[in-house]
Amino acid sequence: MPQGPVTNDRQTANFGEVAAVRGSVVDVRFDGALPDIHTLLRAGAANQIAIEVLAQRDAHHVRGIALTPTQGLERGMRVHNTGAPLQAPVGKQILSRMFDVFGNTIDRQPALDAVQWRSVHQPPPPLVRRSTQSQVFETGIKAIDVLTPLERGGKAGLFGGAGVGKTVLLAEMIHNMIGHQEGVSIFCGIGERSREGEELYREMQAAGVLPDMLMIFAQMNEPPGARFRVGHVALTMAEYFRDDEHRDVLLLIDNIFRFIQAGSEVSGLMGQMPSRLGYQPTMGTELAALEERIANTDNGAITSIQAVYVPADDFTDPAAVHTFSHLSASIVLSRKRASEGLFPAIDPLQSNSKVLTPGIVGERHYRLAQAIRRTLAQYAELKDIIAMLGLEQLSPEDRKVVARARRLERFLTQPFFTTEQFTNLRGKLVSLDDALQGCERILADEFKDLPESALYMIGAVDEATAKAKASAQSAGAAQTPKEQRHAVDDT
């Protein structure tokens, strides 16, 4: 039975009965006062079926959406009005735990005792409490910190199709953030596979970061009502740590598209007329109600990084367009770069950040980022000529641009701590100063004599020289004495 706050006798005195059941949509008749919108109703033998009221149809009927499977629900069955909305557990004791949408622990550990409960429906912080100063939020990932810096208390989106590395990038950010900041990390899985949640739990436990993080999941096999509300539950927990504990919170949402998709399912079940491409007509309002609660206040900041699945890689899809409007940074993952082995597969020309201005990041960082984008854009334009005529047909200046761009692309790759077991490469955390210095030296042609591979999957740029020497030595050792004599003769 889902856990929840204890209600008093006056609240439990109101009962109704099931009038109709259509899949996840349940109509309930009340002879007395109707429950308010968002009130949680309970039904079933052990009150195991939870229904959230979404509409008052007439003087005696309400229509709700089930947050649990409705097997066993039938007409005439008694329904208990809890008199309260869906609530989430808050407090220090929820750290290091894994929850479902009702606040039940799902990590096979003992249930929580004497925990405080709060409604998941909270207003966003008023404008007078919001911070007006923009600060950069460092992640330790070169491609993000240099070209698409994140804002403390801001919202960043990870855009990309299936299989380009969104979840891996989120897991790496959790690893980097908890190790270097005194904040709390919350991972919210909306419509995720149970395998991903189990793997993330084990990885975070092995990395020793569980004591300062918590996870909440509504899996993809759960009803749309549960997937639609789990984001609000995660935000209620995040607001507790920001407002009561005065701590910074890193909220990772995977995947915000599943939130929109769940809202679309709920809307269709409730009989609302669909809008463009079948999305719900209230998509903009529902997304804003969630996103506006993520803010930087005088108490602390909730910084959110959200994976956004882009249907069929179509960035004009209404779900992607509406999500873009809320973000301070957009990190676009490219399938082409992933196929070339350039991980993280961040597209530097499509990704952008509102923080990347001289007034926030400084003149040097801004100018360097612009120079990098310019070099990579020139290389993109020259690729067609190279494909048709070959590199030799380019002017000497264009050849230099290509060499710089290819070295920059490889320097912006990075081995991750969370993928060490797959790549056999030790993870690297790179400071912003080291990343900027490396890009500056590459643009100054300091590494033009090194092979491009020396800059691939390294941390700070100084590692390139050592890697090139090690490669040359191993190549020399692999040659036969006859090949070595020929190499000496050639020189």
Single out the residue of 129, 91, 85 nearest to residue 112, CA to CA: 91
DSSP single-letter state for residue 425: -
d(CA 318, CA 377): 28
Give the CA angle between residues 82, 88, 90 to the nearest 5°. 130
Could you tell me where the DSSP H helices lie in 390-431? 396-411, 420-423
Residue 192 annotated in active site: yes
d(CA 258, CA 306): 11
Catalytic pick among 52, 138, 151, 192: 192
Residue 193 annotated in active site: yes
Question: For the chain, how many residues are written?
Answer: 491
Single out the residue of 218, 217, 311, 209 nearest to residue 266, CA to CA: 218
Give the CA angle between residues 341, 156, 457 to the nearest 5°. 25
Q: Are strands 78-85 and 352-353 parallel, antiparallel or unpaired?
A: unpaired
Catalytic pick among 193, 335, 399, 406: 193
Q: Strand pairing partners for 219? A: 192
Residue 381 annotated in active site: no
d(CA 466, CA 480): 24
Give the CA angle between residues 348, 349, 351 to the nearest 5°. 65
Are 17 and 31 contacting, i.e. CB atoms less than 8 angstroms apart? no
**Residue 44, CB-side half-sphere exposure with 13 Å CA sphere:** 18
Place of tokens 């005696």: 60
Are 67 and 101 contacting, i.e. CB atoms less than 8 angstroms apart? yes
Q: Strand pairing partners for 63? A: 27, 55
Are 337 and 347 contacting, i.e. CB atoms less than 8 angstroms apart? yes
Catalytic pick among 166, 258, 337, 428: 166
d(CA 31, CA 60): 6
**Around Cβ 185, how many Cβ atoms within 10 Å?**
24
Token pair for 141: 């990932």
Q: Please report, as a single letter, which amino acid is at residue 227.
A: R
By annotation, the residues acting in catalysis are: 166, 192-193
